[in-house]
Amino acid sequence: MKTNLPRLAISVIALAIFFAIFDMVCHGGLLGSQYGATKEVWRSEEEMKAWFPFQMACYLPIAIGFATLWALAFGNRGLGVKHGALFGFLMGLVGTGGMVMMFAFMPIPTQFMLPWAVIGLSGGVLGGVVAALVYKPKAA
């Protein structure tokens, strides 16, 4: 089966929006006070605002890769949310491994290691669910 480009485009948009909102809720909301308590490690609020467009732009290639891999490997097979969650978990492992590895090279407070890993894995799982729900074969 061919890749359905309109569904792929919608999946990319949906995933970019999902990942941006998910990160804002987790990092801005749930971990916000912990970041505030370690503010000497991070960019200033002013710098963060200046980098915000760059941050938002970075969600697009993440979403393109995520959605395209789902579409090419699984999207036309009729696999549902369960397989989407598994796919997302595996994608989350890839991303989380690299993210956690940064603790060996950068002076990031180790109190963030577990929350970042949980956020990375759960974001992957939920992203896989989004991909499965948005990019699904048409009903026969």
Total domains present in the chain: 1
In a domain, residue 41? The reply is yes
Region 62-85: mean pLDDT is 91
Distance between CA atoms of 74 and 42, rounded to whole angstroms? 39
Residue 140: pLDDT over 80: no
Region 56-70: mean pLDDT is 97
In a domain, residue 139? The reply is no
| Percent helix, strand and coil across the chain, each to the nearest 5 | 80, 0, 20
For 39, the domain range is 5-134
In a domain, residue 140? The reply is no
pLDDT confidence of residue 74: 87
77, two tokens: 């097979």
> Which element (helix H / strand E) includes 126?
helix 113-134
Which is more confidently placed, 54 or 138? 54
In a domain, residue 14? The reply is yes
In a domain, residue 67? The reply is yes
- Residue 109 near residue 38 (C-beta atoms within 8 A): yes
Nearest to 69 by CA among 117, 138, 124, 139: 124
Residue 7: pLDDT over 70: yes
Task: Give the torsion sign (CA, 130, 132, 133, 134).
Answer: positive
Distance between CA atoms of 64 and 118, rounded to whole angstroms? 22
Q: How confident is the model at residue 139 (pLDDT cuts 50, 70, 90)?
A: low
- Residue 131 near residue 123 (C-beta atoms within 8 A): no
pLDDT confidence of residue 17: 98
Residue 133: pLDDT over 70: yes
In a domain, residue 113? The reply is yes
Model pLDDT for residues 16-39, shown as the tens digit of each residue = 999 999 999 999 999 999 999 999
